Each structure stands twice: as structure tokens, then as C-alpha cells.
Chain A
């Protein structure tokens, strides 16, 4: 599988690619849904066969029998026999549909979902942060999962259709071979039908695009987040304009492509109807009335069967288009499941230890970017040091941290902890040595305790959690809650769920650093939400929590740098100035300037 990015959905696949992908989808299906496949196919085929049989062979036998004057008792007995069979199969099917099938479905889906969840965490972070990859990843999981279960319908339907066609063909042939000829003619329309399907597909894509725009403009009117701007500006006029334009676009589409598709569909269906069904009808009637070589039963059944047989032709085409769309939709899913992440998990690696952190000539470029986010970074942080990394937005500070935590791999150079390249450690355990508070920290809809621990809770954790909450200065808020640390957070599932303010949230994040046994603490712009008092408290708490641990601050607010052991100033992806606060001020470089600007207004001149 190519290692480059998930690609945008192109419509063209080669034949071998189609076959290849479809086989993969089938393999996945057999791995996840085997029982569903067999049961469903079985019932489907049985039901279809039964239905087909009673509509054709049975009818034919009955009507012919009546015409020939067969003993009515035998006919009625035969019908009675069919009734019993119907009952049995029908009941079995009902039990399957209502009880067995949903259970099997659920079990199979469970298998699939657990795989997907596991894999979601395994793949590179890049897939989430790069907006281009994200769309595609999104599609992969949604469409891919659908595609796999759709294989069952596709194959089951194919078998069903092929069986049906063979039975119909046999029947027609048996009644009169010429009929068979009539039924085959409509299949000549197949290329036209494929073309129509392709047009329809493109049409649907266009419609979806237009609907997306329409939806968005409509949302701006009623979603609360837009409410202020919609009242204070003339943007409603702009949005309404776009809405009207979307509708105009749609109507244009209908007039052009829509018309084209409609006409083509008409031509095919009329052509098919006349050329096959009607001609066959005329032929059958002629044979019955004039030459007398056909019986009524035959005639009745023939007319119906020719009709349905000619439509089977389009069913076969549907099988092909289904295979094609499955092959298309499975690509991204396949990449999702099979592609080796760039950051390898190294399960047999070393146990990580606390130690000095060193960046050796590290450069890094995001996938698809035109420039390096980090250029030749050399940095050494001693174990237990408190350092600050500062610089303007886009200087590469957060990228540096992500590389340190092995969320990305450097393009050039290596990162070492305790003299070992971090790649040699077990990935999971290595990452767990870091306690991070990110800018965009969010709580999950599980209990306070679970959020703080970052893993499932057991009773022996109670003390740890409360201690952590106390040290972070938020235990009073939690102890007031009726369920204490078992309170569920966010209002996702519980209207009484806990929602914390910005400041409280960050305290909870800090509590999690206390609760987890980490070697290094990283704070990424943690105080942007806080007012000065809370910010001050947070820093103090942080320092108290990190005795003996390495602490890395990333902040705009240079006040944090004054008390740091060392400061790294970054610009354009490199570290341009290093030293203590005093040293950098004496240097009179960029850092000093930045500091001066910020402090200017605080100091009395």
C-alpha cells in the first residue's frame, strides 16, 4: 500500500483495483460478519425462490391444469402444500428478521467498531490535524464500515439475482425458446444504462455540494453562535444571497443534467418495454390464439416473466455498480486499517526512564507543507529543570512539544531522553511519562475520577484522586457535588452533568498531572483563559506539583520566564536565543524586546 497520504476520491479505478478492493472488502466481511452473511443469504434466497416459484411455476401449473381439465382436487392439494411451505419458511424468516438478525448485527458491529476504535488511537495524529487528511479519514471510517456490511447485500443480491435469472431463463426457454430471445434484447441497452448511472452519480455529488452550502447558510440564521453577528451586521443579506444562489444553482443543474438524465432514462425504459415485453406479449398471444401452441397458463406466466427478466438485466448492472462503489468506498478504509503509522509503537522497546532531554539537529515538516516547521533545532534540558519556550505564534513551539511526545516523527535528526533515542522506548509507556495541559483541553463525558486518572477507575484510586484534587485547589468544588468524584462530566448524557468554568477546568487538568505518575510536565499556553489572579495561582500550584520533575512552559506571557531556570526563544522554527532571563535581557535581542513591550505598561516610567 502506498505510504503517501489518503487521496481524494477519484472516480476512476482500474479493473484490477476494483477486483482487488472488492476482495479485500469481502475478506473483511467474512472476518466480521460471517454468521450474518450465511444466515441472511440463506433466508433471502429461500424467500426469493419461494416467491418466484409461486408466481411462475405454480401459477403456470394451476392455470394450465384448469385449461386441460385436470382433477381439481389435485390442484387444490398442490396449492395447500404450497401454503404449508410458505408458512414454515415465513415463520422462520420472521424469527430471523426480528430476533436473530439484529443480535448478529450488533455482535458483528461490535467486532468492527472495537477494531476501528483501536485503530483510531493507533494511527498518526497527523490524520486528525491536517484538515485535508481529516476529511478523508472521516469518510474512511463512515463509508468504509458501510461498504463492508454492504458486501453482504451485494453478494446475497447477486446470488439471488443470478439464480432468479437462470430460473426465469429456463422457464422461458421451456415454454418457447423464442420468448427467451425477446427477453435478451433489452440487455443491449446496458451500456446506455451504465452511462446513466455514471451521470446520476455525478449529479448526486453536485446536489450534495449544493445542499451543503444551502444548509450552512440556513444554519447561520438559527444557530446561537452566529446570532450576534447576524444582528449587528448586514451579513444576513449576504447569507440570504448565497442561499438564493444555491437554489439557482440547483435549478440550473436540474434543467441541464437532470433533464438529460430524465430523457435518457425514458428512452431506455420505453425501448425496453416495447422491444421486449410488448413484442413478447404479442407473440405469446399469437401463439395461444392463432396457432394454439401455447396454453393459457404459459401465456400468463410468460408475459410476466419476460417483463421481470428484462428488468433482471438492470439488476445485473446494479450488481456491477455496487461492486464498483464498494471498491471505491473501501479504499480509504483499507488505508486506515493497513497503513503503517509513521510513529511505530515498538511494543518490545525499552522501559522509559526520566533523564535529560536532548534534541539533536531536529527538523520537521508537516505533510503537504511548503516549509519546515522546525529547522535544525538543538536543545538540551536537564532532568528536573524548569524551562520556558517562548516566541511568536507559528514559531514552532507546540510542534516541538508534539515531537517530544512522539505524536509526530522528526523528518531529520533525533530526540533523546536519558541518552537513548526516544524511538527505542515502548511508545505507550513513553508517552505516559508526560503530563500535559494543552490549550484546547477538553473533558470527556465520563466521571471526574476517570478524567483525572486518564484510565478506568477502581476503588483503590480514591485517595489518589482526592489528593490530586486537593493539591490542584479544586477539591472544594467537587466535594460539594452529591456524587463527588463519581459525578459525570459534561451534559452529553446527563442534564445534571458537571460543567466547569475555564479556570476550574484548568485546575482539573492540573489535578490530573498530580494523579498520574509523570516525569515531565508540559504546559502549553495554559493561562490564556485565566484572569491574572487565577493565572498566578495556577503557576504556583504547578511549581508545587512539579518538585523534582522537568517542567516545560510554553506561553505568550513572558512573566512566567522570569523565574524559569532557562528560556528558549524560538522564531521561524529555530531556537535563536537561549539562557536565563537575565542573560537574555543583557543580550538585548528579540526576547528582550518582546519582554520590554509586554512589561512597558506595567512598570512605572
Chain B
């Protein structure tokens, strides 16, 4: 991570821009060149118009023949039309096309990176926040330098040419304009400082308001709000919040009002003073022509606008540089060495040797786990909530790696195998699975679903008793799930979603299947039928079943009971019952109610 001090330095900003620039040059030279030309056009055109207009008025003043005036007007028309046409073409057609293709390029690179990112990084808030910002800012990353430079160049060109023209006419007028522009910048800078402070104070207030809005707007609390008086609490909160906000406005408002008055003075009064001065020069001294007068009048406000824009750009540059930083640091991040290039053979055995793990180094979730699972075993892992069962699975899938000890797959430390190859042997259903906004087929397969995959998907769905629902879907396997992508998408119920998640395990010939609380959302009949199907399907496969409903785990070959991250009891159901330990107690509690007296 870069040190804070460096980040704001000019050298660092330049470096970031060079980086972005190089990227653009590599992937879209044309865009770069075209945008450069457009900025030149944008910078020069206003001044050109100015010169032509003043020429016209000089012609008027001198009483030249009408032809000359007509010529000037025609030239102005042609210039204006060409300019507008070109700019429209550029911004309306070329820019979207080019920027999208760059955007695509950047995203592809980022996506590739993300894929290889370790899951542990998602739990590191500093990294994760930076990572999220990087993904969100990816768009501007590449084009940032180019846009900034172009705008800068265009602005500078415009300012310089205007200045040059005005100096030529009257020095003092130009100085007045210039002074006014400087004042505008100072006012603006001060405004920004105050705004920034105000923003810091407002943010928590804004968040509160947003929360109150959210509670009323979303379905999460709709029932609660009707069944209790929680709405009153929210109302009170809102009133308090509003009062805070009002006092904030008053406090900052006084300061910004003064600046606002100065700003108004700057805009209107200076304009009038400039006119008065120019009139004086024109009438009394005679050094300014009518054409000159029109130039000054027209450029007065424009000039200031350009200069203010210039300042905005300069301040925007450091902000953009920070964004580029985020993207860069993510791109430069290399996941810790993931050695392992061996292709993983089919599953024979897996062994945990003294495995410990914790998200934080000082807070271990698993302690000294020792177990071995061989091909064909049907294993159950039970325990109360928080015992570490799900973490056990995450380690198995190599989503995390043990902090101590090792996991041995077919006799080798599993880190020696190539990641994807290793994972392709294990099919897992997690408690917190997610349904993606894509077709049923793709959700089940976890991959693109082609003609030859249809049968596989259908039979997997058959195992989880999804046939009836499948038949009722508008497009069968090609139905898009969730409404994220498409307003006409299909929303599945909790139980139906769970079936899809489970079907994933049946869609590929995994040797080892792991299921973590797969039937929590299913009713007893569905659960019973699922368990039957699993038993059928898993005849010769290895299955690890996690549940706290001991009825489902009873027939396992071996049961491991977890508590506080340790294995406290092991054995078959009968063995553990005669042991009369914690497992027996847990079973008794559950069974009690079912046993008819």
C-alpha cells in the first residue's frame, strides 16, 4: 500500500497519469488522437467566432461595402456548422464506441484478476473497500488521463487566445477581466473548503435519513411497522435529524452567503465596470473600435467561465489520480503464491492433519482438526451453531487455507495441486448459496448451457424433485432467474432456490460431494425425498453431510461432532449413543418430541 504522503505529491500524480496514458496508447491510439483534435477544435473555435464577430463590427463602423460583411457572415456560418457537425459526430458516435471498447478491455483485465483473488481478501476491510472502489472506478481509469489532458488543453487554448485578443484591444480591460477571474477562483476555492467541511458533517445526517427512507420503503420491515409502533420511533428520529440538519445549514450558510455576495458582485458589477471603462476608452480616448467593444462585452463572461473551468480541472486531477491509484494498486496486487500445478487425480482420500484456522490470527475458529475420509465413506458432521462446521468445508474447498497443519489429498498436500483441477473433484452446496441472474441451466451447470448439456441439467433437476416447477416455467431451462437482469425474470421461493443449489452437485460427476444444511428451507416431505435421492445417487460416491438435524445424519458411516472448533466425539450413531456424551444429549433433545409415549 502506498504511503499517504506520496499519494498527493505531484510526482505521484504525474506517474498515475502516465500509467493511464500508456494504457490508452496501447489499446486505442485512434481514440487518443481524435480526442486530441477535438480538444484543439473546442479550444480555438470560440476565439475564432470572436474574431469574426469583431471584424463584422469593424466593417459596420467603417462603413465598408456590404459584400465584405456578407462574406464574413458566410464564413462564420460555414465555420459554425462544420464545428457543430464535427463535435456532434465525435461526441455522439465516436466517443461511445471507443469508450465502450476501452471499458470492456479494462473490465476484462479486472475480472481476470478478481477470479484469482483469495476469498480471505474479502474479509480484510481495508483491502476490500479499496477493491470495490477500484471495480467501480474502472471505467474512468483508462480514459481519465486522456480526458483530463484534453479538457485542460482545450481550456488553456481558449483562455490564452482570448487573452491575446483582448490585450490587443485594451490592456486595462484585460487586466480587469483577469483580476475578476482570479477573484472568482479564490471565491470558488474558499467555497469548496467550506462545502467539504459541511459535507463531512452532513454525511452522518444523510445516512440516517437514507436509513429511515429505506425502512419505510422496503419489505423487510413492512409487517413490523404495521404490527407495532416502531413507526413512531422512526418519526422521532426523523424530526431530530431534521433539526440537526437545519442548524447545520444555518451555521455554514452564513459563511457561504458572504462568498455568494462577493461572487455576485464579481459577475455583475465587474461586467458593468468593464463596459463603462471600455465606453470611456471608445468615446473619450478613441483607442477602441466598435468591434473591439463587442469583443470585450462578449468575452467578459466567457473568459471567466473558462478560467473557472480550468481551476475545476486542476482540482479534479488530484481526485482522479486517487481513483487511478485504487485501480492500479489492485491491478498490481499479486495473490500470494499459489503454487500448485499438478493436475488433481480423482478422489481417493482426504486427510486433515492437525489443522487450525482463524480469520484473525488471534482468534482461531478451528483447533487441531484430525480426520481422514476415504473413498466411498458417508460422513456426517454435526454440532451446534458456531461450532466451525461451515469453516471446515470452506477449507476443504480451498477457499481458505489452514493457518496451521495441512490438508492431504490423495497423499499429497493439497496446495500442490492446481486450484481449479482440485476443486473440480468436489461438488459443494453451501448454506448461503446464491442464485445468479442467468438461466436455470446455467445456474445448475455453473457454466454455459449448450444443447448437449440439457439432458444433464434435466436429470439433475429430477433428483431434486424440481420437474413440476420446471414444466411450469415460461422458457424451461432457458428461463432467466431473479428480476435483477430482466423485469420479467422468475423469482423462485426459498425452497425452490435451494433445490437449484443442490442440483448443482448432481450436474457433474463429482467423486466427493459436500452438503451444508441443504434442506433447511424444505418441508419434511421434500426433505425426505431429497435424502432418498441423495442416498440413491451417492451409492458409490463419497458424501460429507453437515446438518444439525440429527435424523438426516443418523445413517452415516461415521459421525464427527464439532464443538467450539474441535472434534469432540467420533463414531457411528450407535457408538455415540452408547457413549452417552454430547451427541447423545443432542439426539435425545430432538428425538424426545417424536417418540410416542
Contact = CB atoms under 8 A, between A and B. Distances in A.
Contacts of A531: 383-385, 548, 586
A86 B270 CA distance: 10
A574 interface: no
Contact of A94 (B245, B260, B491): B260
Contact of A270 (B81, B383, B423): B81
B69 interface: yes
A603 B436 contact: no
B566 interface: no
Interface residues of A, number: 148
B66 A290 contact: yes
Contact of B555 (A392, A454, A492, A601): A601
Contacts of B88: 262, 265-266
Interface in A34-81: 50, 54, 59, 62-63, 66, 72, 75-76, 79-80
A265 B232 CA distance: 52
Interface residues of B, number: 155
B302 interface: no
A50 B60 CA distance: 28
Nearest to A597: B528
Contact of B232 (A103, A138, A455, A585): A455
Contacts of B526: 392-393
Contacts of A95: 257, 260-261
Nearest to B508: A233
Interface in A99-137: 99, 102-103, 106-107, 110, 113-114, 116-118, 120-121, 125, 128-129, 131, 134-135, 137
Q: Which of A59, A66, A120, A135 has the most CB of B within 10 A?
A: A120
B107 interface: yes
B82 to A, nearest CB: 10
A532 B448 contact: no
B269 A86 contact: yes
A114 B209 CA distance: 12
B257 A282 contact: no
Nearest to B263: A94
Contacts of B108: 240
B93 interface: yes
Contacts of A243: 104, 107, 111
Contact of B386 (A80, A446, A501, A594): A501
B223 interface: yes
B254 interface: yes
A80 B276 contact: yes
B399 A285 contact: no
B503 interface: no
A95 B257 CA distance: 5
A76 B283 CA distance: 11
Main secondary structure of the interface of A (DSSP, over half): helix
Nearest to A442: B220
Interface string A195-209: 000000000000000
B593 A128 contact: no
Contacts of B70: 282, 285
A213 interface: yes
Nearest to A581: B596
B554 A601 contact: yes
Contacts of A54: 268, 271-272
B222 A393 contact: no
A117 B230 contact: no
Contact of A296 (B57, B297, B430, B525): B57
Q: Which of A97, A563, A598 has the most CB of B within 10 A?
A: A598
A532 B221 contact: no
Nearest to A492: B211
B60 A285 contact: yes
Interface stretch (A247-255, A327-335, A347-355): A247-255
Nearest to B94: A254
A579 interface: no
Interface in B60-94: 60-61, 63-66, 69-70, 73, 76-77, 80-81, 84-85, 88-89, 92-93
B128 interface: yes
Contacts of A405: 227
Contacts of A80: 276
A288 B63 CA distance: 9
B260 A602 contact: no
A492 B214 CA distance: 12
B160 interface: no
Nearest to B507: A233
Contacts of A250: 96, 100
Contacts of B411: none
Interface stretch (B37-45, B114-122, B358-366): B114-122
B216 interface: yes
B236 A456 contact: yes
A23 to B, nearest CB: 27
A258 B227 contact: no
A87 to B, nearest CB: 6
B559 interface: no
Nearest to B427: A232
8 contacts: A62-B279, A63-B290, A121-B231, A134-B219, A220-B436, A296-B57, A559-B590, A559-B594
Given A90-B265, A300-B294, 7 more contacts: A261-B92, A493-B208, A530-B385, A532-B548, A533-B589, A534-B385, A559-B590
Interface of A: 50, 54, 59, 62-63, 66, 72, 75-76, 79-80, 82-83, 86-87, 90-91, 93-95, 97-99, 102-103, 106-107, 110, 113-114, 116-118, 120-121, 125, 128-129, 131, 134-135, 137-138, 141, 212-213, 216, 218, 220-222, 224-244, 247, 250-251, 254-255, 258-259, 261-262, 265-266, 269-270, 273-274, 278, 281-282, 285-286, 288-290, 296, 299-300, 391-394, 405, 407, 431-432, 434, 436, 438, 440, 442, 444-446, 450, 454-456, 492-493, 501-503, 516, 528-534, 536, 556, 558-560, 562-563, 585, 594-595, 597-603
Pairs of residues from A and B, 10 with the lowest C-beta to C-beta distance, nearest first: A233-B446, A90-B264, A559-B593, A94-B260, A454-B228, A599-B594, A601-B551, A455-B229, A86-B268, A234-B447
